[in-house]
Amino acid sequence: MASRGALIAIEGCDRSGKSTQAALLVQRLRDAGVPTELVKFPDRTTVIGKIIDRHLKGDAELDDHSIHLLFSANRWGFKAWMERQQRAGVTLVLDRYVHSGLAYSMARGLDVEWCRATDIGLPHPDLVIYLDAPPTVAAGRSGYGAELYENVELQQRVYNAFAELQDASWVVLDASLPPENVAKDVLVAAQRCVSLP
């Protein structure tokens, strides 16, 4: 029987380089023969994900508690699939996960314990890699400002919330460095829970 696949969450503020790093990590693990899948949250293709997408594009106004619940529900929609993959020995690299759910809702002023409750029961990440990019660095990157939460004031609050959520188990990387350097450190960190041949 295959040994259980790992769950690696890559977290950070908008434009901190998560999607680039998540894709690179998936590629490097696959190249090393580790069965790996990428999961991006929010997944905008599901029924709930489509509502989230409209909200982020300013096309569907939802209050902060409702949107928090929808982001959480979007993750719940993948619980059974994630568990099946892990049981089959597939490692999952998550581009955002439950800590994004907390940080963005905290930044909008919601109670952290209320927010945490909605994700209780989802699979726990084996590793959280946090890409630390101060909002002023991220704001200079291409495409910034296209969606609802992409403004420096809110991103500063998200950044502060991530700082509050961090614990000693997180691997915190300086995301203002060139992507190749960050990628090397991401791969080293991943080896805490994935053994490479």
Assess 101 for contact with ligand DGP (CB under 6 A).
Answer: yes
| Smallest distance, ligand DGP to C-beta of residue 171, A | 19
Residue 187: closest CA among 11, 32, 35: 32
Considering only 149, 160, 172, 192, the residue that binds ligand DGP (CB under 6 A) is 149
Q: Is the dihedral of CA 173, 105, 112, 154 positive or negative?
A: positive
Q: Which residues contact 80 (CB under 8 A, 6 or more apart)?
A: none
Q: Exposed, middle or buried, 100 (CB in 10 Å: 0-12/13-18/19+)?
A: buried
Q: Which is nearer to ligand DGP, 115 or 190 (CB)?
A: 115
On whether the CB atoms of residues 171 and 9 are closer than 8 A, the answer is no
How remote is the C-alpha of 154 from its chain's centroid? 17
Stretch that binds ligand DGP, among 3-11, 20-28, 101-109, 138-146 (CB under 6 A): 101-109
Stretch that binds ligand DGP, among 30-38, 85-93, 95-103, 123-131 (CB under 6 A): 95-103
Site string for ligand DGP, 49-68 (x = CB under 6 A): -------x----------xx
Q: Which residues bind ligand DGP (CB under 6 A)?
A: 14, 41-42, 56, 67-68, 71, 96, 100-101, 104-105, 147, 149
